[in-house]
Structure 1
Amino acid sequence: MQFLSDSHGCAGWNGEMAGRIRAFDWGQTELGHLDTWPASLCSAVQLVLASPMPMVMLWGRAGYMIYNDAYSVFAGGRHPYLLGAPVELGWPEVAEFNRYVVDTCLAGGTLSYRNKDLVLLRDGVPEQVWMDLHYSPVANNDGQPAGVMAMVVETTEHVISERRRQAAEDAYRADNERVRLALNAGALLGSFVWDIKANVLSGDERFARTFSFTPEQNLSDLPTEVAESRIHPDDLAWVQERVNNSVKTGEAFNAEYRVLRTDGSYLWVQASGCCEFNEQDEPFRFPGVLIDIHERKTAEESLLKFTRNLEQRVTDEVDARLAAEEQLRQSQKLEAIGGLTGGVAHDFNNLLQVIAGNLHLLARHEPDNANVQRRVSASIAAVERGAKLSSQLLAFARRQPLSPAVCSPQQIFEGLGELLQRALGETIQIDVRLPTEVWSINVDRNQLENAILNLAINARDAMHGEGTIDLSADNVALDRRFCAGKGIVAGDYVRVAVADTGAGMSAEVLAQAFEPFFTTKADGQGTGLGLSMVFGFVKQSGGHIEIASEVGQGTRVQLYFPRSLRPVLSETPLQDGQYGGGHETILVVEDNEAVRSTAVELLSEEGYTILTAANGDAAMQMLLNGVAVDLIFTDVVMPGLIKSSELAAWAKVQQPPVAVLFTSGHTRDIISRNHQLSPDTFLLSKPYSPQALTQMVRTVLSG
């Protein structure tokens, strides 16, 4: 193969990407330094850079990526990391497809795809896209295929537009079927066509009679203002809104409204139609029909007048407005607390992690020093109290990461039995009631157990340490009236209740029961976050909480969780002693140097081989360079272009997949949706102990 003696063949390149290509260290790749590139490669790169279309060159069997400015826009956040990277590493989610492309073109073949359906990761989230793709081989100086020229044109918007057009046509056919049925039933009042471009309305004789047009009126040119004047004033805005929506979105048009008759009365009609679009995706024609629904609407109105009580309507509307205002106030308060708590929690928990990690290491290094062990134990207890406070605030603000799973209240109660008795003392009796077949719920089991424990401890304190606590669960069906203003929808729910016969609460105290830091206990006996945490957890789980209390009559707290129809997962108890150290290689990705150093030391003492990276960018570069690891232990919130979720996405598509363990003081919903973790996401919340770290690492590596 003949090589250039200098870079003259590459000197004519222009544009931003030309500069990046010249600055890139190609000596790291099989292409070698730029001044050794063959003339064929330089010419092909010139063609790529000069194209206004997104184009990328895949050179060699590895498919080293060289692309133009238009492709850098298409690459999004992966640019400029894709430059010089093998295509299978640059686009790991479609690695198998790209391998087939490179192998085919290097064998002399060409490939072309029209609206190719692919799933790409964008901001770490899988997204379905469609593309026109064209691949052809590029020859070297010897005339042999040495690379692949790829043209990439995203057609996602076009495909979605075509699907919308198809949906509109389907709706139009459905309308025609309704017309046929209406004709058979004798309820058809006429048909019409609105020429949108010319703004001309036409219709048949029955349509003209329905809208009281004069007999001599030309049916192909019916004044739209006359038709609009016949529609009841209360219905006109609604009809126009439905027409505009159909013209804008292509959705089927359906509207029920009243039309003025010649005798001064009104006739109820249903208008159905669909907007048609031309090849330029512009609305141009709107056909439709009128159907007589007067008898049905008259019957409905008679029934409504008979059953509806005006006074009750006013009361319901006032109650709904008050509930909505309260819900808005609560939502605004939660948002403010959530924003403050979330911002503080990340840095606060990082500080606690540094303190806790060094305390544990100090305790290990001074095992025989009683004074050190005593002081370390007291300090770690204070760290745990700080962590609990942060966790409770996040729970109230509905920003605590949850790991929901399907379970039954019976499992919850059985698991809590011994813990409750130990926490409440022998003078408290626990009366548990369950129906024969209680429904399942989808919740974070640990958080629900903590919530019940909090409520039980409050009940014990209200009864001054003596009495009976009723713990129950039952199946309930909630209607729309009950759910109004509560942020839940009507349906089947499981109600978990904790009741006591204690001192109860006054109306003033009850109104503030869920307020954060509100407590009736003496100083030092409570933070006032117990009920707040329960409230936030229930709301974040899609449920509702109610509390009823009277002075001297006791208190009853009821938690409502939506019923789950999925099967309950079988419980697999963990074996004692299964956790410990190991010989695997772990990549620790953490931007806080103090946190990173303590994590490295804790894991090194367990026998692991540790590699470190200060952020996601450095970690991804190491992985793309071929560094082999068994586990990525990464902070969730870090600076840089590469997010922790994108590291996890890369790890998931490797063969075999690389295990990932997240850690954070606050996830900010980067690895979750509405702070709900998926079953395959593992999170170790800061601050964590050496035992918790070791157990979670072994769990993830063994999973």
Structure 2
Amino acid sequence: MQFLEESHGCSGWNGEMAGRIRAFDWSRTELGALGSWSKSLSSSVQLMLASPLPMVMLWGPSGYMIYNDAYSAFAGGRHPYLLGSPVELGWPEVAEFNRHVVDTCLAGGTLSYRNKELVLLRDGIPEEVWLDLYYSPVSNDDGRPAGVMAMVVETTERVNSERRRQAAEDAYRADNERVRLALNAGALLGSFVWDVKTDVLSADERFARTFYFPPGQDLNHLSQEEAERRIHPDDLAWVRERVRLSVETGEAYNAEYRILRPDGSYLWVLASGCCEFNAQGEAFRFPGVLIDIHERKIAEESLLRFTRNLEQRVAEEVEARLAAEEQLRQSQKLEAIGGLTGGVAHDFNNLLQVIAGNLHLLARHEPGNANVQRRVAASIAAVERGAKLSSQLLAFARRQPLSPAVVTLRQIFDGLAELLQRALGETVQVHMSAPEDAWAVFVDGNQLENAILNLAINARDALQGEGTIELSAENIVLAPGFCMGKGIVPGEFVRVSVTDNGIGMPSEVLAQVFEPFFTTKADGQGTGLGLSMVFGFVKQSGGHIEIDSEVGQGTRAQLYFPRTLRSTPVETPDSDVQQQGGHERILVVEDNDAVRVSVVELLRDEGYQIVTANNGDMAMQMLLEGVAVDLIFTDVVMPGLIKSSDLAAWAKVQEPPVAVLFTSGHTRDIISRNHQLSPDTHLLSKPYSAEALTRRVRAVLNG
């Protein structure tokens, strides 16, 4: 081996990447062992390693990556995992672009791009970058193109710098326009030029008169100290800071300040200009103008004095701010508790899924054993109770996946009427009211119904089983003062109110009603998660909730949801589709071994063909190597470079597209925004039953 390496020039490779290339097991790739490399490949690699510019070799049809030290810095967190990896697997977000590069160069062509804009994942976050890219073919020993030599120079900073320069030019043109307008309006008080290199100030006669320089003063050599003595002491530091900033950064100079008159009064002026730089980037000239803004500033000061006299307004503002701060402290406390409960619920759901999957398999394998069936049924019922508890925790933590749609409260009330009457009993009356022109809201209708039902049941308990509950909705416009500290913006909202005249709550109980597991009910009569779940749902939907209560006077809960201007979707009747079984091939991607085993057995029992991968990296490699599947059933949160969202993006651009069904106990917003799913995203939440699994798989395949 040593002889072969020396004969190919490998012993002359220097640097960190040279060591990594020699240590890599290339026999696992199409390139073969290092000692068997062709002379052309070895010499090309040696040339690349000696280059100070970022360079990468893409060898063979798969584009196996070999790169130098400079390129490893560009690769960031993907180094050293890119070494020996096919380029489409190493950079999946630009796989199509790299495929075109390899195909073109292996056909003998060359490519070059200046400031090519690409979106790359850096630390898992999409980021716009600009690159100079140069691609040329590399021949093998037979003279045929066998690889691609790529030079990659990132120009992102240069592009951004050019944009900043253009913005500065635009600002400078805006300043010139303002000067033109000032000249037309007769508000110009003079112009000046400061020679930065010689520190000499020159100006026109109007400027000299404004600063009250002595008559006969040489206008080409004005005293800067004399001019500064005329500036109000409170404004002088600010003026100097604006000048310094303009000289150091090139930012347009705009400073409002006061000039002392001989009678002791002050004149408000606006000094406007821009520092000019020579070819070496050194400040050398600073021209500007002086504009009269005295009348405007006097009007502003009059308005300010008027506002300061409104003591009652100030008192109300202070009171509102204190209330907002208290609201913020409460929200921060609930947010901290929510983060903890959300994490616990996620891990709990994975455990429940393992238990549920194996229970369903046990029931299928022992159909005639009554004892087994009875005990399995009891265990599954316990799993379902645990799943409900976990769902409530996720709802409070604002991490439940929502499927929002455009609805009106009249629609919600119409659907709830019968259910509420059955849930509350005949001795409790419910009065519902909503305007004919009720505004639409964009929320998850099922979760909104659950929230109203929870509040109504609490109201029934407060009535001690007999009385009347008022359920109403109204259009309302919220003012800025009301919204302060509540996490919502002023504007149009729909307010839903649930009111009873029951026993009410003391202030110490009211302060804790949204905290999870807090309840005033007897043991076994409530989990203390009902109001917590309502709170989390409303906040996750971009709304706000308030509860007012007095002992002996009753309770009123008010939910605020922002109005939506989206159009109401046209409902289409569901077509009859096959719900169970099939022969399609499904790729199951799941890093939890116990969950994966149970899912595979459940799906195989239904007749599906199954292939598996224990993470996204393995799944993507299988798909790029040509494994054909009809559906990707993938966990949302997995280790590795390739995320479930990357698999979905790949599936969407195939022809025809490959169906994707996600599963998770907690999406962590990888496939959603604020845990709100888009209409074309399908999610099966853990834990799920065998029936739910087969029904959802069939529905996604049919869709």
TM-score, reference length from structure 1: 0.88
Alpha-carbon distance between aligned partners in 2 of 1:518 and 1:226, rounded to the nearest angstrom: 72
Amino acid at match of 1:523: D
Bigger mean CA offset, 324-333 vs 264-273? 264-273
Distance change >3 Å, CA 197–CA 326, structure 1 → 2: farther
Question: Structure 1 vs Structure 2: percent identity of aligned residues?
Answer: 80
| Contact 2:259/2:269, CA 8 A, preserved across alignment | yes
Is 1:267 matched with 2:267? Answer: yes
Alpha-carbon distance between aligned partners in 2 of 1:175 and 1:659, rounded to the nearest angstrom: 56
Distance change >3 Å, CA 596–CA 101, structure 1 → 2: closer
| Contact 1:616/1:643, CA 8 A, preserved across alignment | yes
Matching residue of 2:323 = 323
Q: Show CA shifts across 1:72-125 (max 9, x none).
A: 332334444443444344434434433433343334333221101222333444
Matching residue of 1:421 = 421
Secondary structure of residue in 2 paired with 1:637: coil
Secondary structure of residue in 2 paired with 1:41: helix
Alpha-carbon distance between aligned partners in 1 of 2:476 and 2:24, rounded to the nearest angstrom: 66
Matching residue of 2:566 = 566
Matching residue of 1:607 = 607
Amino acid at match of 2:545: I
Matching residue of 1:176 = 176
Is 1:594 matched with 2:594? Answer: yes
| Contact 1:408/1:568, CA 8 A, preserved across alignment | no
Secondary structure of residue in 2 paired with 1:394: helix
Is 1:336 matched with 2:336? Answer: yes
Matching residue of 1:9 = 8
Distance change >3 Å, CA 222–CA 623, structure 1 → 2: farther
Amino acid at match of 2:516: P
Bigger mean CA offset, 446-455 vs 304-313? 304-313
Bigger mean CA offset, 622-631 vs 579-588? 622-631
| Contact 2:328/2:486, CA 8 A, preserved across alignment | no
Give the Å deviation of 1:43. 1.0
| Contact 2:253/2:274, CA 8 A, preserved across alignment | yes
TM-score, reference length from structure 2: 0.88
Matching residue of 2:106 = 106
Matching residue of 2:527 = 527
Q: Show CA shifts across 1:654-677 (max 9, x none).
A: 444443333222333344444444
Matching residue of 1:361 = 361
Give the Å deviation of 1:493. 1.8
Q: Show CA shifts across 1:416-445 (max 9, x none).
A: 344333333344444333323333323233
Amino acid at match of 2:53: M
Counterparts of 1:106-505 in structure 2 under 5 Å? Answer: 106-191=106-191, 204-210=204-210, 256-273=256-273, 288-306=288-306, 309-505=309-505
Alpha-carbon distance between aligned partners in 1 of 2:578 and 2:244, rounded to the nearest angstrom: 65
Amino acid at match of 2:67: Y
Bigger mean CA offset, 356-365 vs 282-291? 282-291
Alpha-carbon distance between aligned partners in 1 of 2:605 and 2:325, rounded to the nearest angstrom: 56
Distance change >3 Å, CA 226–CA 430, structure 1 → 2: farther
Give the Å deviation of 1:618. 3.5
| Contact 1:195/1:201, CA 8 A, preserved across alignment | yes
Alpha-carbon distance between aligned partners in 2 of 1:475 and 1:279, rounded to the nearest angstrom: 63
Secondary structure of residue in 1 paired with 2:472: strand
Give the Å deviation of 1:461. 2.1
Amino acid at match of 1:118: L
Distance change >3 Å, CA 701–CA 297, structure 1 → 2: farther
| Contact 1:77/1:641, CA 8 A, preserved across alignment | no
Bigger mean CA offset, 297-306 vs 592-601? 297-306
Give the Å deviation of 1:166. 0.6
Aligned CA-pair RMSD: 3.5
Distance change >3 Å, CA 215–CA 560, structure 1 → 2: farther
Alpha-carbon distance between aligned partners in 1 of 2:531 and 2:145, rounded to the nearest angstrom: 70
Secondary structure of residue in 2 paired with 1:567: coil
Secondary structure of residue in 1 paired with 2:481: helix
Give the Å deviation of 1:518. 2.4
Secondary structure of residue in 2 paired with 1:564: coil
Give the Å deviation of 1:173. 0.8
Distance change >3 Å, CA 378–CA 464, structure 1 → 2: farther
Distance change >3 Å, CA 402–CA 17, structure 1 → 2: farther
Distance change >3 Å, CA 229–CA 461, structure 1 → 2: farther
Secondary structure of residue in 2 paired with 1:457: helix
Matching residue of 2:540 = 540
Give the Å deviation of 1:690. 1.9
Alpha-carbon distance between aligned partners in 1 of 2:691 and 2:381, rounded to the nearest angstrom: 15
| Contact 1:92/1:653, CA 8 A, preserved across alignment | no
Alpha-carbon distance between aligned partners in 2 of 1:319 and 1:589, rounded to the nearest angstrom: 55
Which blocks of at least 5 consecutive residues in structure 1 are unaligned? none
Secondary structure of residue in 1 paired with 2:323: helix
Amino acid at match of 1:8: S
Alpha-carbon distance between aligned partners in 2 of 1:455 and 1:89, rounded to the nearest angstrom: 51
Alpha-carbon distance between aligned partners in 1 of 2:243 and 2:460, rounded to the nearest angstrom: 62
Bigger mean CA offset, 14-23 vs 280-289? 280-289
Alpha-carbon distance between aligned partners in 2 of 1:473 and 1:289, rounded to the nearest angstrom: 59
| Contact 1:93/1:653, CA 8 A, preserved across alignment | no
Secondary structure of residue in 1 paired with 2:322: helix
Give the Å deviation of 1:591. 2.7
Matching residue of 1:637 = 637
| Contact 2:519/2:527, CA 8 A, preserved across alignment | yes
Give the Å deviation of 1:686. 1.9
Give the Å deviation of 1:369. 4.2
Alpha-carbon distance between aligned partners in 1 of 2:441 and 2:287, rounded to the nearest angstrom: 49
Which blocks of at least 5 consecutive residues in structure 2 are unaligned? none
Bigger mean CA offset, 250-259 vs 594-603? 250-259
Alpha-carbon distance between aligned partners in 1 of 2:404 and 2:280, rounded to the nearest angstrom: 48
Amino acid at match of 2:471: L
Alpha-carbon distance between aligned partners in 2 of 1:384 and 1:580, rounded to the nearest angstrom: 22
Q: Show CA shifts across 1:342-371 (max 9, x none).
A: 332222222222222222223333444444
Bigger mean CA offset, 66-75 vs 417-426? 417-426
The aligned length equals 700
Alpha-carbon distance between aligned partners in 2 of 1:196 and 1:345, rounded to the nearest angstrom: 65
Amino acid at match of 2:454: N
Secondary structure of residue in 1 paired with 2:547: strand
